[in-house]
Amino acid sequence: MNLRDLRYVIAVADHRHFGRAAEACNVSQPTLSGQIRKLEEMLGITLFERTNKSVIATPAAAQIVPLARAAVENADAIAALAQGWRDPLSGSLRLGVIPTLGPYLIPRLLGPLKREYPQLDLVLWEDITDNLLSRLRRHDLDAVLLATEVDDDDIHSLALFEEPFLLVVPDAHPLAEQPVISEAALQGVEMLVLADGHCLRDQALAACHQAGPGRADLRATSLEMLLNMVAAGYGCTLAPALVVAGRNVPVPGTVARPLLPGIAGRTVRLAFRTTFPRRGAVEAVAESIQSLRLGGGGHVITQNASI
């Protein structure tokens, strides 16, 4: 029995499919299946019930998989600890990022980070906040970029910058003529928001409690869809300043207007486990982000003074 075999068992248990498990482990399906069979023969038990339609863990496997997962996580922690003591600024850093931030921040970060820390290799994973935090706690990620506070003593976060929201309206909308939008002006505005699970949805709803009801039939999963819905005249939306400032040209048919200070915004944070041994790598990413010129188009993004 070795760690490789335990990783195969965990993958099959998680994916309930030999093909997908093999893909996740970067091996061929025959290789993975063969190793699972050898492990079953060595243990003298069946780990998975196989049919043409499904793969089900046996009761024995249900007890073994948590132990296998703990063994693999401990082995990975030992390897990461050793690497961190050797050189925290080399090797892979698995970084999660929320969808409303990744496309607008990461392209700006990669070049400067590579020039400053050529041996540090970012491995990126985009997902909603809850899923990223789950992967962080499971040690599947090393750090995550998000826009909410984390209420967990086992996770520490560095505040990177304050990002205001802007109101995006169709170019024929009455608010398109106003240079700055007040909270009172939002009253009655039909606001488009992202689907459940996106932190930007909750932040927009909290900030625009005086706004009119959004479209109940809209379940947008990306800011790009919302912006194009605005361009089509289906309503208005709030967008983080980076989304607007990061574009060479605005979405045709839309106008972005700043809100009065304090109405809506978010704090972008870099979170990681307090026990993560390569804090130097996390701080390097944080410093690189804070060194970026993130303002643009007259929209101020305030960098936090220290990490």
pLDDT in tens, 264-302: 788 999 999 999 988 999 999 999 999 887 754 445 566
Phi and psi at residue 87, to the nearest 5°: -165, 100
- Which residue is listed with tokens 């995550």? 144
Residues 11 and 44 in one domain: yes
- Which single residue is written with the structure tokens 């409690």? 209
pLDDT in tens, 7-24: 999 999 999 999 999 999
Q: Is the pLDDT of residue 216 over 50?
A: no
Least confident of 37-41, 122-126, 242-246: 242-246
| pLDDT value at residue 143 | 97
Same domain, 66 and 77: yes
Tracing tokens 């625009």 back to the chain, one arrives at 208
* Domain shared by 174 and 250, yes or no: yes
- What are 48-90's pLDDT values in tens digits? 998 877 899 999 999 999 999 999 989 988 887 777 677 878 8
Q: Which residue did the predictor score with more confidence, 111 or 265?
A: 111
What angle is formed at CA 14 by the lines to CA 10 and CA 18, rounded to 5 degrees? 80
Same domain, 190 and 43: no
What CATH code is carried by the domain that includes residue 54? 1.10.10.10
- Give the single-character DSSP code of 176: G
Alpha helices in 156-253 (DSSP H): 199-207, 223-231, 241-245
In a shared domain, residues 28 and 177? no
165 membership: H or E segment, kind and range: strand 155-170
The pLDDT mean for the chain works out to 84
Sign of the Cα pseudo-torsion (39, 40, 45, 50, in order):
positive
Residues 147 and 280 in one domain: yes
For residues 113-123, average pLDDT:
92
State which residues form the domain around 177: 162-265
Token duo for residue 24:
């996740």
Helix (H, G, I), strand (E, B) or coil at 8: helix
Of 181 and 41, the structure prediction assigns the larger pLDDT to: 41
Lowest mean pLDDT among 42-46, 109-113, 243-247, 265-269: 243-247
Arithmetic mean of pLDDT, 217-238 = 77
Least confident of 66-75, 83-92, 194-203, 256-265: 194-203
Q: Both 181 and 155 in a single domain?
A: no
Same structural domain, 295 and 213: no
Whether pTM exceeds 0.75? no
Centroid of chain to Cα 252: 28
CATH number of the domain residue 134 falls in: 3.40.190.10
CA–CA distance, 20 with 13 (Å, rounded to integer): 11
Q: What is the model's pLDDT at position 261?
A: 79
pLDDT of residue 207: 57
- The pLDDT of residue 199: 62
| Whether residue 60 sits in one domain with residue 90 | no
Is the same domain home to 72 and 92?
no
Residue 167 has pLDDT above 50, yes or no: yes
Structural domain tally of the chain?
Answer: 3
- For residues 72 and 206, membership in a common domain is answered with no
